[in-house]
A and B are shown apart, each in its own frame.
Chain A
Amino acid sequence: MISSYLLLAVSLFAIGVLGVLVRRNVLVVLMCLELMLNGVNLAAVAFSQQLQNADGQVLVMVSFAIAAAEVTVGLVIIVLLYKNFYATATDAAQNLNG
């Protein structure tokens, strides 16, 4: 039973990695990062159920808060990228090295 949940978590993580590698749109890349985080959260909750221990749930709660912070900073970076370079593709960030 836990193996099925772990396999689901692994596939979500791999799909997130695929999106980060393949897509050029920064917003979609951000969404795929969220997918990866969710895969990890699912694994943590599955382990928490397996070990009958609430620690994994606390980990997931902290990870939710950090995901919210990460999305905020990521969106700020995207808005700045758009305002300065008029671009929403990851290629535009290559100009950041000056």
Chain B
Amino acid sequence: MGSLVFYILAFLTVLSAGAVVCLPKVIHSAIALIICFCLLAIHYLFLGSEFIAALQILIYAGAIMVLLVVSIVLMGSAFENQQEAGLLAKVIGVILASALLFVLSLAVPVGKGQFLNFEEQATILFSVVDIGQALFEKYFLAFELVGVLLLLVTVGAVMLLQEKKLPLPEGSGLRAKRQEHAKEAK
């Protein structure tokens, strides 16, 4: 029974992930990605990681996707009439991705082995206490470094988004395009 639920969930997860790649409109891809993240949170719950499941909903489906959707809304019209890759590029991409899938699947241990005694083990629940102890004792340096990284990213994002335009190369056609857009804006 448990495995049936897993297979249905896994199918839906792969389906929504495929929808992210296949749907032509970018906002539809974003919604498919939110569904995929929520399904992954359910997988984390089945794996006994309640805290990670909560973080998945909060950070991914919450913060990151809100960022992405807001930027889609802000740049709205720019994403219509998007030129897509040609048929040859698509075929090569599919071949390369399937080759990667095949090679990585070979590395997955299948069948009964020393490593695969998961069924006999009871699913243990990782509480916030376990994770907190590991984070603040064993991996405290990583915790501090992540704090520094987030500060740097915040400062960097604000700095990069100041109102200034990059110099454009002569004769690339981009200058004329920019002036055209500036005229349209007026």
Partners in one complex: yes
**What is the CA–CA distance of A45 and B83 in the complex, to the nearest angstrom?**
38
**What is the CA–CA distance of A15 and B104 in the complex, to the nearest angstrom?**
12
Q: Is the CB of A73 within 8 A of B47?
A: no
Q: Is the CB of B150 within 8 A of A69?
A: yes
Q: Is the CB of A72 within 8 A of B67?
A: yes
Q: Is the CB of A11 within 8 A of B14?
A: yes
Residue of A nearest to B19 (CB): A15
Interface size on A, residues (CB 8 A): 71
List residues of chain B with CB within 8 A of the CB of A89. 82-83
| Interchain Cβ contacts under 8 Å between A and B, 12 examples | A1-B3, A7-B108, A11-B14, A18-B97, A23-B84, A27-B29, A31-B30, A50-B115, A60-B55, A68-B150, A73-B153, A82-B78
A49 to chain B, nearest CB (A): 5
Residue of A nearest to B98 (CB): A14
A-B contact sample (14 more), CB < 8 A, given A19-B20, A54-B133:
A3-B116, A7-B108, A23-B85, A27-B26, A31-B20, A35-B20, A57-B131, A62-B146, A64-B60, A66-B146, A68-B64, A76-B160, A80-B161, A85-B174
**What is the CA–CA distance of A19 and B134 in the complex, to the nearest angstrom?**
35
- Specify the main secondary structure of chain A where it touches its partner: helix
**What is the CA–CA distance of A3 and B64 in the complex, to the nearest angstrom?**
29
List residues of chain B with CB within 8 A of the CB of A49. 47-49, 118, 123-124
Interface size on B, residues (CB 8 A): 91
Given contacts A69-B150, A79-B75, A95-B172, contact A45 B64 (CB under 8 A): no
Q: For chains A and B in complex, what number of residue pairs have CB atoms within 8 angstroms?
A: 236
B161 to chain A, nearest CB (A): 6
Q: Is the CB of A86 within 8 A of B17?
A: no
At the interface, yes or no: A93 with Cβ under 8 Å from chain B? no
Within residues 1 to 28 of chain A, which ones have a CB less than 8 A from any CB in chain B? Answer: 1-8, 10-19, 21-25, 27-28
Give 1 or 0 for each of B156-186: 1 = CB within 8 Å of chain A CB. Answer: 1100110001101100101001100100000
List residues of chain B with CB within 8 A of the CB of A19. 20-21
Within residues 29 to 82 of chain A, which ones have a CB less than 8 A from any CB in chain B? Answer: 30-32, 34-35, 38, 41-42, 45-46, 48-50, 52, 54-55, 57-58, 60-62, 64-69, 71-73, 75-76, 78-80, 82
